[in-house]
Amino acid sequence: MIYKAADKNNGRLHRGVMRRFQGLLDDLELDEVHLSGRLLTWSNGRDHPTLERLDRAFSSLDWIHQYSCHQLRCLSTHCSDHAPLILLLNSEPWARPRFRFDNYWTKIEGFMDVVTVAWEGQLAAARAVVYELDLAQESRLLSPGELDLRRELKANILGLASLERTMASEEEAKADIVYEYYNGLLGNAFVRQHRIDLSQLDLSRLDLHELVAPFAADEVARVVRETPSDRAPGPDGFSGAFYKAAWSVVGADVVRVFHALRELDFRSFNLLNEAMMVLLHETAAPDGLRITGRSA
């Protein structure tokens, strides 16, 4: 639904519906959130397409003042006729998508081809190309070659996009419960009254040079082979089965991660060092947190 003539690339307008929509926005005292970078967000996908601004966001004046540094962005239409929108508040953490690898994917024909394409960044490149074609379509007709390329890229992206998942953001109350639990568990800082001088105990010294030696590629590969196939060693969701099946593609990058760890090169390590917690309500009115689990 649109409320301005500029929200469509042709003159076929339902002005009565547009007036009622505008009247509703006025009654609710809502303003449209400015969309950065794009004018129209939907296409019927034809050679001479109809383009409309069907995807949008509205807010109250109070919300605008509270999040004065917000930004509404538009992604490419790689998985739909509609362009997905992302609203950045700049005052709250952005929840990263959650991913889970299904082990049976390793047995599907073409698995290694998909891994190779996605791992080398071609998926991101395809999305960028689709976005540029979406943008060009707002001001001119795409050539037959561009239309064929856009359709082919969208079809390929849909095949790769099964790797994406979303995760729900945590509520502030849950964060408070977790903080109080661990704060009580770890205790408070205090000043020690007595210390032990280990140098006076005449303990034997051990040669631990091997513990700081560089990681060898075969050493890392051996650990990966010993990893349980049905468990994910990290928060990225990729299971041991994935690393074993795709080691010829991803192995060099995994070894580089271990080398960076040894050299204390922690750039981008924030993408790996994260924790996900799920709070299960066992009572109608929970008043605390308790950690449960089982040993391997």
Per the model's pLDDT, the better-predicted residue between 52 and 188 turns out to be 52
Q: What global pTM score does this model have?
A: 0.36
What angle separates helix 247-262 from helix 217-226, to the nearest 10 degrees? 110
Beta strands at 42-43 and 35-36: parallel, antiparallel or unpaired = unpaired
- 258 pLDDT band, cuts 50/70/90, is confident
**Structure tokens belonging to residue 151:** 């359709």
Contact between residue 83 and residue 38 where contact means Cβ atoms under 8 Å apart: yes
Contact between residue 180 and residue 287 where contact means Cβ atoms under 8 Å apart: no
Confidence check: pLDDT of 151 > 60: yes
Question: Per residue in 20-35, pLDDT tens?
Answer: 888 888 888 888 888 8
Q: Where do the structural domains in the chain lie, given as residue ranges? A: 1-167, 170-187+211-296
Per the model's pLDDT, the better-predicted residue between 105 and 227 turns out to be 227
Q: Could you count the other beta carbons within 10 Å of the beta carbon of residue 95?
A: 11
Q: State the residue for tokens 């299960």.
A: 280
- 165 pLDDT band, cuts 50/70/90, is very low
- 218 pLDDT band, cuts 50/70/90, is very high
Q: Check residue 141 and report its DSSP letter.
A: P
Q: How many residues does the chain have?
A: 296
DSSP string computed for 122-138: HHHHHHHHHHHHHHHHT
Burial of 115 (0-12, 13-18, 19+ CB in 10 A): buried
